[in-house]
Amino acid sequence: MPSKMHLVADIPAARRICREWQGQGVCVGLVPTMGALHEGHLSLIRAAKGRCQRVAVSIFVNPIQFGPGEDFHRYPRPMERDREVCAAAGADLLFAPRDETMYPGRRLTFVRVEELPGGLCGPFRPGHFDGVATVVAKLFHILPADVAFFGEKDYQQLIVIRQMVKDLDFPIEIVGCPIVREADGLAMSSRNVHLTPEERGRATGLSRALFAAAERAARGERRSEELIRAVRADLVNAGIESLDYVEIVDAETLAPLARLTRPARLCAAARLGQTRLIDNVPLDLPVECG
């Protein structure tokens, strides 16, 4: 019989419930989100339920990870629907604080991410990862959990959080979960709702270009420059011309790789109208012959 989901907006209550669970010796999983939940988030909740006896989900559109001119104000916030989705997915606790609860008054202390691994989104979103690391650190304190689940769509975010947990000795395990895609390959994202039908049509070109390059890599192409050139050409042909980056990076450190000599990730970010899309695919090492 599923237990009723706790809906909590204040910090002491959220912390008390998680601590009670931990006191009972059960494994607690945490799924931090900004809401507008889709299948990608549901896959995280499922992974958490598969691994932990209790699952807490947080929904908070974190103002400090958005830069000036970014989409903080128009980020979708279908709170009532999200609450139902969480309950139906079997979450045990939904923590949905107000901005003033998370950031009351003047803030003097932040988590600062030095030497951001890789270029990727960092140069295009100054301060973004400091904002992410700060709020995730707060969430880890508010909702003390044993394991936290993050999607690989935000691959750089996943690596930044893993590094923060290591550097600051958070007693929590970080689990990365595979990207969930629409039937035509588009990576699921809360921001996809902003795409016009015409942009939505073109958006498919992003994952198509990445998968085509991944196939070439699997067939033996090791030169990053050549793979990146091909992705850029495919994107232009698909009508996606406003690119922030296309990069091939080490899958663990995010350092740029000139040749595929280790497990790598091909990552790209593009803008379609008002919407910024990011996506990435693993590049498997080609099988050596002979």
Interacting residue ranges for ligand PAF, rule: CB under 6 A: 32-34, 62, 65, 132, 135-136, 154, 157
Q: CB of 37: closest distance to ligand PAF in angstroms?
A: 10
With respect to ligand PAF, which residue has the nearer C-beta, 224 or 275? Answer: 275
Count of residues in the chain: 290
Q: CB of 60: closest distance to ligand PAF in angstroms?
A: 6
Q: Determine the Cα–Cα distance for residues 250 and 3; give it in Å rounded to an integer.
A: 42
Q: For residues 42 and 128, is the Cβ–Cβ distance under 8 A? A: no
Q: CB of 90: closest distance to ligand PAF in angstroms?
A: 20
Q: CB of 205: closest distance to ligand PAF in angstroms?
A: 24
Q: Determine the Cα–Cα distance for residues 157 and 254; give it in Å rounded to an integer.
A: 11
With respect to ligand PAF, which residue has the nearer C-beta, 157 or 224? Answer: 157
For the CA atoms of 157, 247, 44, 150, the dihedral, rounded to the nearest 10 degrees, stands at -20
With respect to ligand PAF, which residue has the nearer C-beta, 34 or 142? Answer: 34
Q: Are strands 242-250 and 93-95 parallel, antiparallel or unpaired?
A: unpaired
- Of 128, 178, 122, whose CA–CA distance to 149 is shortest? 178
Q: CB of 186: closest distance to ligand PAF in angstroms?
A: 17
With respect to ligand PAF, which residue has the nearer C-beta, 34 or 203? Answer: 34
Q: Determine the Cα–Cα distance for residues 122 and 16; give it in Å rounded to an integer.
A: 35
DSSP assignment, residue 27?
-
Q: What is the DSSP string of 221-287?
A: --BHHHHHHHHHHHHHHTT--EEEEEEEEETTT--B-SB-SS-EEEEEEEEETTEEEEEEEEEPPPP
50 CB neighbour count, 10 Å cutoff: 9
Contacts of 15 (CB under 8 A, 6+ apart): 141, 142, 143, 144
With respect to ligand PAF, which residue has the nearer C-beta, 130 or 234? Answer: 130
Q: Would you call 41 a catalytic residue per the annotation?
A: yes
With respect to ligand PAF, which residue has the nearer C-beta, 154 or 234? Answer: 154
> 147: which 2 tokens?
């394991």
Q: For residues 153 and 279, is the Cβ–Cβ distance under 8 A? A: yes
Q: CB of 133: closest distance to ligand PAF in angstroms?
A: 9
203 CB neighbour count, 10 Å cutoff: 26
6, 41, 128, 194: the catalytic one is 41
Active centre residues (catalytic): 41
